[in-house]
Amino acid sequence: MTAPAPVHQRPMLEINRLEKRFGETEVLKSIDLRVAPGELVFVIGPSGSGKSTMLRCCNRLEEPSSGTILLDGEHVTDCRGAALDRMRLKIGMVFQGFHLYPHKSVLGNVMLAQIRALKRPKAEAKARAMEMLEHVGLAHKADAMPAELSGGQQQRVAIARALALDPKVMLFDEPTSALDPELVGSVLKVMRQLRDEGMTMLVVSHEMGFAREAADRVVFMDGGVVVEAGPPGAIFGNPQSDRLKSFLARVSKAAE
């Protein structure tokens, strides 16, 4: 277990008073969240609670209505155009639906942004891609097309694709929700490995077992606000708010 981050340390990811409105609907109401370097923060909450929107604001796939987001002390929210593209290189993202490029091989998927965005020489990009594929246990699939892989394998390739850019933080948006149950384990294993290597991670997921075991901190969101946050033991073992209690009750009922 990594110890909770010391208070004086600068957070790797810092979300301040983040708000997001879609027309009249307030999806996020002043979210504050800090993720220390090497910390794994797990975000749970009912669907529609705004957790995915918050995650997508962190790399500006969703444009915040107000508030600031800082990555390692640098403003993400101020970036425009090419500066935003450069900023996004430092923020890895893994999607629920994998979104591998179907017209490129596994290797091509992991190499593309290295060459086109990071401007790595091709040979170096290839070496890095193979290293990352090795890391997620899929080096032997380098020449396969995405459609030939299982969902779990596709998601691991997507993780390798993000890692190959050497991001400072990894965002996971329900990475196992689209997977068959027997394939979830392989993806969680890679995530646990990343955590052990000290990657800073912000994870939106319904895998409560994984949160309990691997998260440094769990954040419970509901109705666009952070209702409760704390170590997994406290959140799952001693929930304070009624909303969290009833959410956990619903989740455990569904799991039965």
Partner 1 sequence: MRFLETFFNGAVMAKYLPDLLSAIVTTLWLSAVILVLGLSLGLALACLRSLGRWYLTLPIVAFADIGRALPPLVVILICYFGLPGLGISLSGPMVLILVLAAVLAAFAEEIFWAGLTAVPKGQWEAGRATGLGFARTLFEIALPQAIRMGIPPLVNRALAITKMTALGSVIGVKEILSVSSSAQSFSGSATPLTMAALAYLAIFLPAVLLSRLLERRYSWAV
Does position 34 interact with partner 1 (CB under 8 A)? The reply is no
Here the tokens at position 73 are 């002390």
3-state secondary structure of 215: coil
Q: How far is the CB of 228 from partner 1 (least distance, A)?
A: 29
Residue choice 34, 88, 120, 156 for contact with partner 1 (CB under 8 A):
88
Beta carbon nearer to partner 1, 132 or 227: 132
DSSP H helical ranges for the chain: 51-58, 81-89, 106-116, 122-135, 151-163, 181-196, 208-214, 232-237, 242-255
Residue choice 123, 147, 254, 255 for contact with partner 1 (CB under 8 A):
147
Residue choice 13, 36, 165, 214 for contact with partner 1 (CB under 8 A):
165
Does position 49 interact with partner 1 (CB under 8 A)? The reply is no
Does position 95 interact with partner 1 (CB under 8 A)? The reply is yes
> How many angstroms separate the CA atoms of 151 and 141, rounded?
13
Here the tokens at position 45 are 């909450």
Does position 85 interact with partner 1 (CB under 8 A)? The reply is yes
Residue choice 59, 77, 154, 186 for contact with partner 1 (CB under 8 A):
59
> How many angstroms separate the CA atoms of 195 and 189, rounded?
10
CA-CA-CA-CA torsion sign (70, 75, 78, 83): negative
Beta carbon nearer to partner 1, 136 or 214: 136
Does position 116 interact with partner 1 (CB under 8 A)? The reply is yes
> How many angstroms separate the CA atoms of 232 and 37, rounded?
18
> How many angstroms separate the CA atoms of 112 and 108, rounded?
6
Q: How far is the CB of 56 from partner 1 (least distance, A)?
A: 8
Residues near partner 1, by CB under 8 A:
59, 61, 81-82, 85-86, 88-89, 91, 93, 95, 97, 99-103, 112-113, 116-118, 145, 147-148, 158, 161-162, 165
